[in-house]
Structure 1
Amino acid sequence: MKQTRWKEIVLYGLAMAVSKGAFAGCYPLIPGFFTACYLEEVNRTLLLIFSIFGMALFVPVQAMAKYTVALLVTAAVIRLVEWAYKSCRTYIGAGGAALSLFLVAIAGELLQVRNRAVVWMGILESVLVFGMVLALTPILHQFMEGGFFSFGRKEEISQIAPEHGEKLETYARSFNGLSQIFSQMESFKNNFEPEEMGKMQQEIAGKICMSCDQCAICWQEENSPMFEVFYRLFHSIEKRGGAKEEVHQELADYCPYSDSIIEEAVGVFEKAKLNLAWYNRLLENRGVIAEQLDAMAYIMEDCAREYKDISRREGKLLGSVKYRMKERGIAAREIRLYERRNGKLSLQMRACSKWGNCVPVKELAKAVSQGLHRDMAPGKYVRSMVGKEENFLTFEEDTLFHTLQGVARLTKDEAQVSGDSFSFLELDGGESVMALSDGMGSGIRACKESEMVIELIEKFLEAGFRKETAIRMMNSAMVIQGEEGIFSTVDLASMDLYTGICEFYKIGAAATFIKRGEEVECISSGSLPAGMFHQLEIDRTSRQLQSGDFVIQVTDGVLDDLYVPAPEETFQEILEDIQTNNPEQMAKQALERILLFTAGKVPDDMTVLVTGIWEK
């Protein structure tokens, strides 16, 4: 506040000093400087008083009367415009000052109107005042704002933000360390170790052989054949679940309690296999925990590095943004400018209307674009209007491309609901994602399976996880559930709307197609569905899309029910024949032509998703 006051005092002093500037008997600095300061909304009454006082000191009486009237008319015009439109643009204020000065000059020389020199002098002076106001107003705004970052709390915020980033990176390293500890634990076991075989042998001998008179002969002599017989017995039970006939007969030749030994051995092996299964499940859960810790570490690193605060470095740009917001009657504060990892800008601020009227956020986006010299668009969750109450606004650098989506689907004959689920997402950072999942089977259970897959992927992606990480965490959740038969395909396409690069992630999904004019490319996969195994195989490919391209995703029901030797090639031909540029119509026409191959029947759930991409 103190700094603002002394800056205003400087302006009042300059308002007096400019009265000394004379050019060919004119004083254009007086109305030019006055109008620029008046638009900056300093204490307007004091500004007028000091301007008149300066003219009283340095300007002749006749000229003083002329410029005093011009200042009063200019102030009245600006106030009238502010009352009518709740704001006054710089060019309107400059035009008002120039026109007021010209009219006063002409009125003062009314008796000498035939003197063309007076008319041309008035015109030139008005043009000079107009240009001076346009040039001087942004400079005065920068002066009053102090380069945007000059003191106090704003500077504190800039110093605190890096510390938060360092803390997040420290937490991320801690989670990475925990993940490595879990990952370095013992690996899965498929067979029993020799030590475990020896323990099982001792357990069987302790229960059956200890009560036998020949125990010492069978187990204490080094050349006893019982060791080899038990070895073959264990391997037989491990492979077949029971003893081979020849192994049974060989054991009977040496031991009268062979039946009891075999029965006990089978029981011991079943218990050992159960323990082994639980041991492997425990290791599997440890692997899931390690993956989740890795994902958390990535999110923390991403939060620490995704946004780089460049507010201090780009203070002039932010001052320009604030100036243009003020022109539209918006008071903006706490303006922060961030640079994403991909070099794109993100602007955040708190803003409200100074006059209580509602201003469209799209109009403010134009002001932000002019100030930053980049195309900016309102954030995803920003209100459409800004009123008297303060609102938090975000503006993101606008993308080069935009997308439109369409979907067509049919439910299996006699089924109540479709087992296919899909989603279209617009993520922060200029990504458009289309996801499709086909639950195993059909009906309500398949619907619940695919819905769960899509919901999990949506939540993970919206939280900021990478695509592969989101898919793996979704798979881990399905595996941990432990229910048999819960398998679903995952087909995900992520389009970068800044570059046009599209990444495809497929887990057991049907082929995806890219249509460019009459050419159609097929992207297929051979991986297994999600939820079957903890170690997930993800087929990932990428393509550079062009304006006018279409990405088409389908479920297995679309291709499998064509009943042709090469269903992918047949579907490519179907897409080549479709001429529409409407994604919705393309999806419907594709599904209608599929029904020609099935005689109008729907033997399985069918879903076709289409996304078209165009330059803005």
Structure 2
Amino acid sequence: MRTGQWKTMGIGSLIGKMIYAVFGLAASMLCIMGYYPVVPAFYTACCLDKKRNFLLYIGLVVGMGWCMPVAAIVKYLFILFVLGIAIRFYIWANRRCSGWTAGMIAGITTIAMNTSGLLILNMEKKALILGISEGVIVFALAVLFHYGIGMGSQIFRERHKNRVEEEGVETMVGMDPQGRIHAFAEAVDELSVAFAAMDGRQKPKQQDHLDILAQEITGKLCADCDGCVVCLEQQKPDFWIKIRRMLQAVAQHSTKEEILSQNFMEECPRYSGMVEEAIWAFSRMELNEAWYHRLQENRKVIADQLDAMADALQDWDQGIRCMDRTERVLLAKIAFETRERGLDVKQIHVYEDKEKRRMVTALVASKWGGGIPVKNYRKALERASGMAVRLKEDTRSILTQEPVMITAYEDTCFYALSGVASEKEEGSSVSGDNFSLFSMENGHYHVCVSDGMGSGPSAFRESDMVVELMQKFMEAGFPQETAIRMMNSAMVLQGDRESYSTLDFMDLDLYSGQMTITKIGAAASFLKHKDRVECLRASTLPAGVDASCTGDVIHRKLTHGDFLVMVTDGVLEYLHVKNPEEKLAEMIKEIKTENAGTFAEKLMEHVMLFTGGHAPDDMTIVVSGIWEK
């Protein structure tokens, strides 16, 4: 820190102490019906907010000596002495002291002093009432001063902090994280366009292939033939026509015997060798074309992945905004309320996402040691912000003097629970179905169900890859559509064209109840609302078939008590009825329970009745319910 900054801080501190000394002097001058309630009230607030200093005591003593009679000076000096000791003792015993508690200590001390003196002197009842009234006034003023001093100093600190941060930002050229993310997103997007442009080569026509093959074969077999001059000079037009006919037969995948029997070139002594060479050359050309086609496909898949990454980066760039500059009062309230509960809070920041939902991060520790429940911090945030708050899932439950970073979010309006029932195919060692249930810090609840093609370990690996990729992409912060695109392209790139998996992905916003289901080759799902059941169908190819496929998307608004039932193909295929979806909807309608796990188990029992108690295929049922908090 520069010398000028040290000098500025020192001057500012001295000015602050002088201001409190002036207020102490003014408090000693204010007399109300022979009493001076402002003195103990102001001193109480200064004790709590750590504003006691040598100049403050000078201001109080000078004011008291100038304006008060000797008896009042003795009385209020004794009150100040008792207050200082009492507040310190209370903090030592309870590790905290709020403004209301300190105000009560000040009021009770003042009443005790007044009533004890009045009782000894046996004075009038009116004076006794006035003495008690002074204690009530001291209590109210102490709370008021404490709130004013605490909030005022916190707001001043926030303004000073923001000013210092702004000055620091001006000196950090090229270190803007938001700008770097935007630039990186543009670079990735341009790279995606470059990869996509590589697929722009025009595919040669079959006639061009045949001409190339004709040139290659004649150059290889006719060059050292004694009849070359005759074929190429005297019968040149007929010669090339016959070669093309022979090559067209090769292109149609006719057998060597069929081509030889047609004898396209009866005069050529090397016709048999020419047919063999043509078949081999055409096979090699087809193989090259297949590899080229696969390369172009992979380039397109990589281009799609880069494009998806660019979209995700753009989304992050426009995502969470820091609100510290506009929410200085809120930051001051948070600091004040947490300090009231014996907590020391630093580095407080308020953020807002695209949907205008708040997030607060802070470094929190116990102010005077000992263990303080983290719920005290949550209550302080709720009181300061006026909104319900939920803490990050891995937040410790007890706060100590060791500072810990805590992230708090605006609480959701709903909560969701899921239950699962599953049966693997008879004779199989493992189920080919996989599922995942996970909540996000942004207040979204996800259910992912995948059915691998076939059964056994190979199907399990395929569906497990789909579920794992989706969960990792979502937890990394990718938007849902982007995560699905990247997962699908990863399945395409793995190279096994005979293994595919379905995807049934549910995204539930626990703030609004808005649900989005994305289906890629998945079976129908069922939404139960009271006594009504809706079938949610979709028709797309499984994941891994087409890299550009993002699935069929279904939107619904859920309310309290709704259930979503997601099933794999095995549940519907073996009901052995004309309309299996209608039959399953009837089963769902008949189940009466508020427990998602019980719901899934009862539905599986109903299904197994139709299969005779056997599992001819892997069967998985995932039931998710939503309730208001």
Deviation at 1:242, TM superposition (A): 4.6
Distance 1:163 1:18 in 2: 49
Task: State the 4+ residue runs in structure 1 displaced beyond 6 angstroms.
Answer: 157-162, 188-191
Over 3 Å counting, the alpha-carbon distance change for 1:385 and 1:149 in structure 2 is farther
Tell me how large the CA RMSD over aligned residues is.
2.5
Q: 1:381 maps to what in 2?
A: 394
Of residues 469, 474, 482, the one that matches 1:456 is 469
Counting matched residue pairs gives 616
Distance 1:194 1:41, change over 3 A: farther
What is the aligned partner in structure 2 of residue 150 from structure 1? 160
Q: Distance in 2 between matches of 1:241 and 1:57?
A: 122
Give the match for residue 545 of structure 2. 532
* TM-superposition CA deviations, 1:576-604 (whole Å, max 9, x none): 00010100000100101101101111111
How far apart, CA to CA, are the structure 1 residues paired with 2:78 and 2:268? 128
Say if 1:308 and 1:500 are closer, same or farther in 2 by CA, change over 3 A: same
Deviation at 1:191, TM superposition (A): 7.0
Q: Does 1:75 align with 2:88?
A: no
Tell me the residue number matched to 2:418.
Answer: 405
Aligned residues of 2:17 and 2:56 also touching (Cα < 8 A)? no
Aligned equivalents of 2:390 and 2:81: distance in 1? 40
Q: What is the identity, as a one-letter code, of the residue corresponding to 1:109?
A: L
Stretches of structure 2 that go unaligned for 5 or more consecutive residues are 1-8
Structure 1 distance, partners of 2:508, 2:113, is 61
State the 1:402 CA deviation. Answer: 0.9
Q: Which moved more, 1:175-184 or 1:530-539?
A: 530-539
* Cα distance, 1:384 vs structure 2: 2.1
Q: State the 1:253 CA deviation.
A: 4.2
Q: What amino acid is aligned across from residue 523 of structure 1 in structure 2? A: L
1:292-320, Cα deviation, whole Å (9 max, x unpaired): 22233233323322111110110111011
Deviation at 1:344, TM superposition (A): 0.5
> 8 Å contact 1:176–1:294 — kept in the other structure?
yes
Say which SS state the counterpart of residue 148 (structure 1) adopts.
Answer: helix
**Mean Cα displacement is larger for which, 174-183 or 56-65?**
56-65
Change (3 A) 1:64 1:221: farther
Contact 2:249–2:259, Cα closer than 8 Å, also in 1: no
Deviation, 1:336, is 1.0
Question: 1:567 maps to which residue?
Answer: 580
Other-structure match for 1:283: 296
Q: Is 1:476 aligned to 2:489, yes or no?
A: yes
Equivalent residue in structure 1 for 2:333, among 304, 309, 320: 320
Distance 1:96 1:154, change over 3 A: farther
Give the counterpart of 1:512 among 525, 531, 556: 525
Is the Cα–Cα contact under 8 Å of residues 401 and 497 in structure 1 kept in the other structure? yes
> What displacement does 1:39 show?
1.2
| Equivalence for 1:172 | 185
Letter in structure 2 aligned against 1:495 = L
What TM-score, normalized to structure 1?
Answer: 0.93
Over 3 Å counting, the alpha-carbon distance change for 1:543 and 1:9 in structure 2 is: same
Residue identity over aligned pairs, in percent, reads: 35
Structure 1 residues 466, 483: CA separation in 2 closer, same or farther (over 3 Å shift)?
same
Structure 2: distance between partners of 1:381 and 1:505: 29
Give the letter aligned to residue 597 of structure 1.
F
SS, match of residue 176 in structure 2: helix
Counterpart in 1 of 2:596? 583
CA contact (8 A) 1:449 1:487 kept: yes
Determine whether 1:355 maps to 2:368: yes
Measure the CA separation in 2 of the matches of 1:416 and 1:53.
90
Residue 96 (structure 1) aligns with: 105
Aligned residue identity for 2:409: E
Pairwise CA distance, 1:537: 4.7
- Pick from 122, 126, 133 the counterpart of residue 124 of structure 1: 133
Which stretch shows the higher mean deviation, 455-464 or 72-81? 72-81
SS of the aligned residue for 1:423 comes to: strand
**How many Å separate the matches in 2 of 1:252 and 1:307?**
76
2:449 equivalent in structure 1:
436
- TM-score under structure 2 length normalisation: 0.92
Contact 1:189 1:276 in 2 (8 A): no
- Please state how far the C-alpha of 1:65 moved relative to its aligned partner: 2.4
- One-letter amino acid of the structure 1 residue matched with residue 585 of structure 2: Q
Alpha-carbon distance in structure 2 between the residues aligned to 1:54 and 1:228: 122
Which residue among 498, 505, 511 is the counterpart of 1:492? 505
Query: What is the aligned partner in structure 1 of residue 65 from structure 2?
Result: 56
Q: Can you give the 5+ residue segments of structure 1 that lack an aligned partner in the other structure?
A: none
Tell which deviates more after alignment, 1-10 or 406-415: 1-10
Q: Distance in 1 between matches of 2:114 and 2:437?
A: 65
- The Cα offsets for residues 461-513 of structure 1, whole Å up to 9 and x where unpaired, read as 11111222212222222222212432111110000111111111111111111
1:557 match: 570
CA shift at 1:232, angstroms? 4.2
1-side partners of 2:145 and 2:459: how far apart? 68
